Amino acid sequence: MVIKDSCGVFGGYGYHNIADLVRTGLFGLQHRGQESAGIVTSDGNEFYERLRQGLVSPNFGPERTSQLLGHIGIGHVRYSTSGGSSVKNTQPLSVEIKGQKMYIAHNGNLDNYEQLKNKMESEGSIFSTTTDSEVFAHLIAKSKETDLEDKISDACKHVSGSYSLLIMTEDKLIGLRDPRGFRPLKLGRIKLNKQSAYFLSYETIAFDDIKAEYIRDIEPNEMIILNQENYHSLQGYETRKLLENDLIHTPCIFESVYFARPDSKISPDGMTYWGLRFKMGQILAQEFPVDADVVISIPDSGNYSAEGYSYESQIPFVSGFIRNHYVGRTFITPNQQKRMNDVDLKLNVNEYAIKDKRVIVTDDSIIRGTTTKGKITSLKNAGAKEVHVRISCPPVRYPCFYGMDFPTQGELVANQYLDSNNNVNINELCDFLGADSLGFLSLDGLLESCKPQGDTFCTACYNGNYPTQQN
């Protein structure tokens, strides 16, 4: 089974005692991974590291973070699947290449990981973790190029898939984004007295938390270099291309549907993921209208499309479920039984809001179907007259090889109800869920909602059109 990670990375250069800002940045990215966290810093001469299982807050309090000295730092929060949840897989990963120690923090998934690993092991390489992130270390070490930046570019010629990557040595911080731009990476800045400190983050919410200015996205196929020489330049950093060939940019559209925090920005002009999801709800109401009394959501993932659906349909939006905020994101719980138990603990029906009413319930997606089916049952048991399900993306039919934890094709509930033309039989799926009607946002509607980000996306989980040749 291909390793699939979806994690969060954050790093910075040029801020005295940077560890506290890295900790704060990781806390803003905690929704991306809740199994382990790590921070490594450098004062230009020595590394300081702390890697722990669990959440950021209990493991990186002020007293512990104060021991991580220096003006350079990177951090990582991890959510693992088949790579395994263990201390050895906690990032940033420590590697030593020809006497030079460095740390790597990686988000994404290399779809040719198994082939590369098997080839390297046959040539004598020894892997100490079960994450595909370690492949980068071996490729960099094997490169015949001279300087580190060229070694990294050389390594990228051999990998296929998605990566937002931070690499830190004792005196520099390097960030890079894969040539197709599957995963995001953002540049931020804090203006100091004479110069600026620069930061790299998976999402802009981490910049908000440390009061940094969001400058721009790192472009697909771009490497950004922060070191002492560049720090004293007018721009503050150096950039270069990773590869010479310019591939079509295919950012993951599921970032917009679910994974990114709604208050994270997609561009410096202030547009947020909330705005995209609100638009999804509006178009969903246009595509699948229904007479009803209230619109509700399955919190929190369905909240923002529900607001858009309510606005467009003029049907009031009410809180049909009350969420226990001490239960984390169930999508990124790696065990299915634990996921089901967490859903039951996480959401409770607000009977007063839905009893004797025709209810429209929105959510971002249906993956395995068990959560949606259970919520529909609980709504009807609480007295809802009708339950109409509206989903703000198309049916998910194909596994993801670029970092989202979708199960195998056979486990995806949409594939269990197909008609003779191999299309999803919506009526049969609706009957399985126990709903009175079911509507999915069309792919055209989803693409229209995401237009502020561009015209091309990876939509493989909906149509099976994988951008790389490995799948």
- Nearest alpha carbon to residue 204 among 184, 176, 225: 184
Q: What is the DSSP string of 91-144?
A: SSEEEEETTEEEEEEEEEEETTHHHHHHHHHHTT----SSSTHHHHHHHHHH--
**Angle subtended by helix axes 426-433 and 370-381, to nearest 10:** 60
pTM to 2 decimal places: 0.91
CA 25 to chain centre: 15
State both tokens at 264.
């994270």
- Nearest alpha carbon to residue 168 among 44, 266, 299: 44
146-159 in b/e burial notation, b at 16+ Cβ within 10 A? eebbebbbbbbebb
In CATH, the number for domain 271-463 is: 3.40.50.2020
Place of tokens 């989202």: 404
Which burial class, exposed, middle or buried, applies to 447 when counting CB atoms under 10 A from its CB (0-12, 13-18, 19+)? middle
Q: What's at 171, amino acid-wise?
A: D
- Nearest alpha carbon to residue 389 among 404, 375, 370, 409: 375
- Nearest alpha carbon to residue 404 among 33, 193, 109, 199: 109
Secondary structure element (H or E) that encloses residue 463, with its range: helix 460-463
Rounded to the nearest 5 percent, the helix, strand and coil shares of the chain are 30, 25, 45
**φ, ψ for residue 319 (rounded to 5)?**
-90, 95
* Residue range(s) in the chain whose domain bears CATH number 3.60.20.10: 8-249
Q: In this predicted structure, what is the pLDDT of residue 3?
A: 31
8-249: CATH topology is: Glutamine Phosphoribosylpyrophosphate, subunit 1, domain 1 (3.60.20)
Secondary structure element (H or E) that encloses residue 408, with its range: none
| Weakly modelled stretches of the chain, pLDDT under 50 | 1-5, 81-84, 329-335, 338
Q: How far apart are CA 147 and CA 223, in angstroms?
A: 14
Work out the number of other CB atoms within 10 angstroms of the CB of residue 5.
26
- Nearest alpha carbon to residue 462 among 442, 448, 439: 442
* Residue range(s) in the chain whose domain bears CATH number 3.40.50.2020: 271-463
Q: In this predicted structure, what is the pLDDT of residue 327?
A: 62
Give bridge partners of residue 335 from the DSSP assignment.
Answer: none
Q: How far apart are CA 241 and CA 176, in angstroms?
A: 9
Give bridge partners of residue 100 from the DSSP assignment.
Answer: 97
Cβ atoms 49, 38 nearer than 8 A: yes
State both tokens at 173.
């911080």
Q: In this predicted structure, what is the pLDDT of residue 85?
A: 53
Q: Say how many CA atoms lie within 13 Å of 139 toward its Cβ.
A: 23
Cβ atoms 417, 436 nearer than 8 A: no
156 catalytic per annotation: no
**φ, ψ for residue 440 (rounded to 5)?**
-110, 140
Work out the number of other CB atoms within 10 angstroms of the CB of residue 299.
18
**Angle subtended by helix axes 113-122 and 133-142, to nearest 10:** 50
- Residue in 7, 156, 400, 458 annotated catalytic: 7
